[in-house]
A and B are shown apart, each in its own frame.
Chain A
Amino acid sequence: SQKIEQNSEALNIQEGKTATLTCNYTNYSPAYLQWYRQDPGRGPVFLLLIRENEKEKRKERLKVTFDTTLKQSLFHITASQPADSATYLCALAISGAGSYQLTFGKGTKLSVIP
């Protein structure tokens, strides 16, 4: 069966450290993978996208890697700050019916401790 797993439901790290979140999938062949941030009581907000033929993408303190052999994406936040505390969702884009459908993981709740 198809699965998207974000390994940790919750992750606590100290301010200033690098947070690493994991997204694993099985039985999918995504064209690309996206990461979103969701704060309590709000909708998800798009952060980064990485295509199947890309290994790494960066945006300011954020870095995403994508390994289609391992079927895994890693999401890194360097020099983490308390304001980075949120739930982070990975989403796979699967081609079908003339468009891409996004399927989301359950999310990892990150808490950055001052």
Chain B
Amino acid sequence: DTAVSQTPKYLVTQMGNDKSIKCEQNLGHDTMYWYKQDSKKFLKIMFSYNNKELIINETVPNRFSPKSPDKAHLNLHINSLELGDSAVYFCASSHVSGANVLTFGAGSRLTVL
């Protein structure tokens, strides 16, 4: 019954590889997000999707690309991984209207060697 689930929970890979993290929500929310939490614990927004449309795209390298096949899923693809990409990536969702309270997944810890 997990509201926002993301896989994998842990991902260890070599520099230069391409990887994906998947996210699914069963809350009926219409907006989904990807956040990055680095080693200093800052939680920064990367992307959000509303009705399959990208509405926020912060200054993230274009090696990162979100893909949303439907309203309940938002996957994150990362190409040519770099050491600095090591972080915990959180998926979240919310209703687009109202106070925008976020429900987060448990996080995916990416380690680039």
Let me know if A46 is at the binding interface, CB within 8 A.
yes
Is B103 a contact of A99 with CB atoms below 8 Å?
no
Would B55 and A42 count as touching, CB distance under 8 A?
no
Judged by DSSP, the binding face of B is strand
Tell me the residues in window 19-73 of chain B with beta carbons closer than 8 Å to chain A beta carbons. Answer: 31, 40-45, 48, 50, 55-56
A44-B102, A46-B102, A93-B99 known; A101-B45 Cβ under 8 A = yes
Name which residue of chain B comes closest to A89, CB basis: B43
Give every chain B residue within 8 A of A44 (Cβ-Cβ): 43, 90, 102, 104
Which of A12-20, A66-74, A76-84, A102-110 has 4 or more CB atoms under 8 Å from chain B?
A102-110
- The reply to whether A87 and B41 contact each other, CB–CB distance below 8 Å, is yes
CB contacts between A and B, total, < 8 Å? 57
Measured CB to CB, the closest approach of chain A to B32, in angstroms, equals: 12
In the complex, what residue of chain A is closest to B56 when comparing beta carbons?
A101
Q: How far is the CB of B72 from chain A (nearest CB, A)?
A: 17
Asked if A102 meets B102 with Cβ closer than 8 Å, knowing A44-B43, A97-B55, the reply is yes
Residues of A whose CB lies within 8 Å of any CB of B are 32, 34, 36, 41-46, 49, 51, 87, 89, 93, 97-104, 106-107
**B interface residues (Cβ-Cβ under 8 A, vs A):** 4, 31, 40-45, 48, 50, 55-56, 90, 92, 96, 99-107
9 closest A-B pairs by CB: A43-B104, A104-B43, A100-B100, A46-B101, A44-B104, A43-B90, A49-B99, A43-B106, A43-B107
